[in-house]
Amino acid sequence: MGDPLYGTPNHPEWTLFIHQDTTQENYVRVATYVNKRLARMRFALRLDIINHRDINVLVFHNDRDTNYIINIYSDSNQTALRALWESMTNIDKTIILTGDFNIRDSDWDPNFRHHSSHTDDLITIADSLGLELSLPSNPGSTRFADNPRDTNSVIDLVFLPPNNTGFGRHTLHPKIRKPSDHVPLIIEIGIGDVNTDINIWSIKKDSEEEKEFISSLVQGIRSLDTSVIRSQANLEASV
């Protein structure tokens, strides 16, 4: 018996976006994969907006448009929901908010008769982003209970702009969930005309602009306080 192995799977055709703190007590609980065919849309994880292991805020560019994707896992204490509440004013043009919210509510689960106090916060967050709850075209449970005495539940949710072509059209696929206890959700989202031949601005080689950029970069690196760098985490925080 060795030490427990913590990690996320990698695939050569997909780019993985996760929070980089790999300590056991703070290991990531949400991950986002983007197919590398979409690389020209310049997907990036915006840790400057929300730096939290349970929230991925991804930005991508389609021509002149900037869009955000929010992928979330909120535990039973609603840790991520609180973090999202504090940062929601810094996010605009979100095309989807989705994930495991761990909130049971009669608004989306016909087998549950109660209203959760966390639902009001979640709906307020979604509304501030211009999103509404999108119900699947084939309603059903999204999490299957491990204990046969417990009931299955609906805790994996999708929020979209109500005028999006994918609104109310995502589907649940329980037959392909194993060995997971969560059901895969599949959705096609409209983002306008996609132009993957995006022009990327660059500095001309050997130009005065390049010299100024390199000089500024060197000065910035020299100004870094290296006395606190004792680990990879410290290094990443510094840069």
**How far apart (Å, rounded) are the C-alpha atoms in residues 15 and 23?**
22
Task: Tell me the three-class secondary structure of 109-150, residue by residue.
Answer: CCCCCCCCHHHHHHHHHHHHCCCEECCCCCCCCCECCCCCCC
What are the backbone angles phi and psi of residue 164, rounded to the nearest 5°? -75, 145
- pTM for the structure as a whole: 0.77
pLDDT band at 91 (very low <50, low <70, confident <90, very high): confident
**How far apart (Å, rounded) are the C-alpha atoms in residues 16 and 232?**
19
Please say whether the dihedral angle defined by the alpha carbons of residues 228, 231, 233 and 236, taken in this order, is positive or negative: positive
pLDDT digits (tens, 9 = 90+) for 45-88: 999 889 899 999 999 988 778 999 999 999 999 999 999 888 87
In the predicted structure, residue 159 carries a pLDDT above the cut 70: yes
Q: Which fold has domain 14-186?
A: Deoxyribonuclease I; Chain A (3.60.10)
pLDDT digits (tens, 9 = 90+) for 22-37: 666 778 899 999 999 8
- Fill in the DSSP letter of residue 192: S
**How far apart (Å, rounded) are the C-alpha atoms in residues 66 and 228?**
35
